[in-house]
Amino acid sequence: MKLAELGEFGLIDRIKANVAASPSVLLGIGDDAAALSPTPGQVTLITSDMLLEGVHFDLSFCDPFTLGKKSLSVNLSDVAAMGARPRHFLLGVALPKDVPLEFMDGFMAGMLEQAGRYGATLVGGDTCASKGGLAISVTALGEQRPELVLKRSGARPGDLICVTGTVGDAAAGLKQLFAGVRDGFLVARQLDPTPRVETGVALAEAGVVTAMIDVSDGVLQDLGHICEMSGAGARLELARLPLSEHYLAYCGHNDHAPLALWERGGGEGAATGKLPPGHDPFALALSGGEDYELLFCIPAGKESEVAAICASVNLPVSVIGEITAGTGVQLTAPDGSSYTPPRRGFDHFGAD
């Protein structure tokens, strides 16, 4: 069945039928606007992301279910990075007319399953026809007590820089997808990222975090955002970057020992700050976006408390550096030398 047979309002009704009621939603899908009842004493956190076919996703790389799931996950990740609980979301979708109804059914199933997992209710949005590719816009809302909201701007010199999980996986997964690989750990990290909602909320409620961001543009660029907003600098120790065994294997480090490889293969690189191409496990881990891990700062001495919080949600956490009184992010290679990355991160309007 094609969407043209169902029609715009038929599609909206079909979506609406699968959305559960929520006490905070006074009026959901089907009016000019949704009416939401804010929780007294809490602030509303709101974020919006667009995902465009050919820019953010390739339909030959993923099934509709996973695309729907990811489209919500990247927005939930932004809510989590504020230390807030997701509550509601809106979906805008521009669909080519020849999209089969099954595509939308799969897309919505993935999105609504993920929404249910994290307590977010679909309350409205927009559906329209696209003359180009598929375009998706998600707006997510969360709530938190104002004093617990975690901004990018609170980092202070001496704070430790932490990151959850591992980094570089999603970027490596994207490279694998372009090379024809369609499954495995790295590909799953790219296509189906996990928003760190429980962790973000637990960290906020523990009151130990001074600044937080999610890793969407790459560790280096996202840490740069924290530094800029906090009026501080940072020193990052590459040896402490959490890299998955899959990522290391992808980089050719089958012994899972980047430090050994650095020492073995990086004689020239150690001097220039650049390892030979294909042998540097840090470049992609620093610049690669879309891991959707949490990057955050804590006062020195709070490591064990943070480790306990992350352990309680079964998520590894690593201290990777320190906030400094300077500006910009300084990188220290495993041998103690200064490291210059080949690229810093993703800019949508950049040349490459």
Lay out the sheet containing 328-332: strands in order across.
211-214, 294-298, 160-164, 317-324, 233-237, 328-332
Which CB sits closer to its own copies, 213 or 270? 213
Please tell me whether 137 is known to bind a ligand: no
Residue 133 interacts with its own copies (CB under 8 A): yes or no: yes
Tell me how far, at minimum, the Cβ of 287 lies from its own copies, in Å.
15
Residue 201 interacts with its own copies (CB under 8 A): yes or no: no
Tell me how far, at minimum, the Cβ of 333 lies from its own copies, in Å.
27
**What does the alpha-carbon distance between residue 98 and residue 162 come to, in Å, rounded to a whole number?**
46
Instruction: For residue 273, give the 3-state DSSP assignment.
Output: coil
Per-residue b/e over 52-82, b at no fewer than 16 CB within 10 Å? ebeebbeeebbebbbbbbbbbbbbbbbbbbb
Structure tokens given for 159: 């704070």
Distances (CA, A) of 298 to 11, 162, 215, 231: 47, 8, 17, 16
Residue 327 interacts with its own copies (CB under 8 A): yes or no: no
Residue 126 interacts with its own copies (CB under 8 A): yes or no: yes
CB atoms within 10 A of CB 48: 14
**What does the alpha-carbon distance between residue 101 and residue 122 come to, in Å, rounded to a whole number?**
19
Tell me how far, at minimum, the Cβ of 157 lies from its own copies, in Å.
21
Residue 220 interacts with its own copies (CB under 8 A): yes or no: no
In the list 64, 110, 125, 165, the residue contacting its own copies (rule: CB under 8 A) is 125
Please tell me whether 346 is known to bind a ligand: yes
Distances (CA, A) of 301 to 118, 158, 159, 305, 307: 31, 10, 9, 9, 11
Cβ distance 297 to 154 under 8 Å? Answer: yes
Cβ distance 143 to 205 under 8 Å? Answer: no
Tell me how far, at minimum, the Cβ of 98 lies from its own copies, in Å.
10
Tell me how far, at minimum, the Cβ of 90 lies from its own copies, in Å.
4
Which CB sits closer to its own copies, 148 or 285? 148
Q: Which long-range contacts (CB under 8 A, 24 or more apart) does 344-348 make?
A: 344/218, 344/220, 344/221, 344/224, 344/286, 344/287, 345/217, 345/218, 345/220, 345/221, 345/222, 345/224, 345/287, 345/289, 346/217, 346/218, 346/221, 346/287, 346/289
Element (H, E) at 306: helix 303-312
Please tell me whether 152 is known to bind a ligand: yes
**By CB under 8 A, what part of segment 12-41 binds its own copies?**
26-27, 30-38, 40
Which CB sits closer to its own copies, 38 or 158? 38
Binding characters for its own copies, 36-75, by CB under 8 A (x = yes): xxx-x--xxxxxxxx-x-xxx-------------------
Which CB sits closer to its own copies, 48 or 337? 48
**By CB under 8 A, what part of segment 229-288 binds its own copies?**
229
Binding characters for its own copies, 161-200, by CB under 8 A (x = yes): ----------------------------------------
Residue 123 interacts with its own copies (CB under 8 A): yes or no: yes
Please tell me whether 217 is known to bind a ligand: yes
**By CB under 8 A, what part of segment 145-164 binds its own copies?**
146, 149, 151-153
Binding characters for its own copies, 78-117, by CB under 8 A (x = yes): xx-xx-x---x-x-xxxx-x--------------------
Give the annotated binding-site residues.
32, 47-49, 56, 78, 125-126, 152, 214, 216-217, 290, 346
Give the annotated binding-site residues for ATP.
125-126, 152, 216
